[in-house]
A = this chain, B = another copy of it.
Amino acid sequence: MSNSNLIKGSLQTIILKLLEENEKMYGYEITQKVKELTAGEIKITEGALYPALHKLEAEGLLTTEIQQVDNRVRKYYSLTKDGQKEVSSKLAELQAFVENMQRIINPGLKPELGF
């Protein structure tokens, strides 16, 4: 991850959500997808990404499958059943965070929002 330190803790959410949409992705692909979606504003560093992927796998939320593509190794990650459940949970957590921040930053505002 790069830029703002606000992002701490959202990397897992990003990974899980992308895998919910994409079925199967490898690490480098995730970094490129995030860069693309955020117009280069969020750059996931390898030092953050790979440990995060390993942790999610160790927790049983992701499974891996290694493929050879042009003499290069790719490690594809997919959601497990538990991982699929965790996506909703992480998204709800993110939404709650945003709502709470809005309550603090914009006191006296209608409850409406983004995710």
Question: A residues bordering B, Cβ < 8 Å?
Answer: 4-10, 13-14, 17-18, 21, 34, 37-39, 41-42, 91, 93-94, 96-98, 100-107, 113-115
Contacts and interface: CB of A to CB of B under 8 A. Distances in A.
B18 A10 contact: no
A21 to B, nearest CB: 8
B6 A97 contact: yes
Contacts of A105: 13, 17, 91, 94, 115
B104 A37 contact: yes
A38 B107 CA distance: 10
12 contacts: A6-B10, A10-B101, A37-B103, A38-B100, A41-B96, A41-B100, A94-B105, A98-B101, A101-B115, A106-B115, A113-B114, A114-B114
A23 B6 CA distance: 24
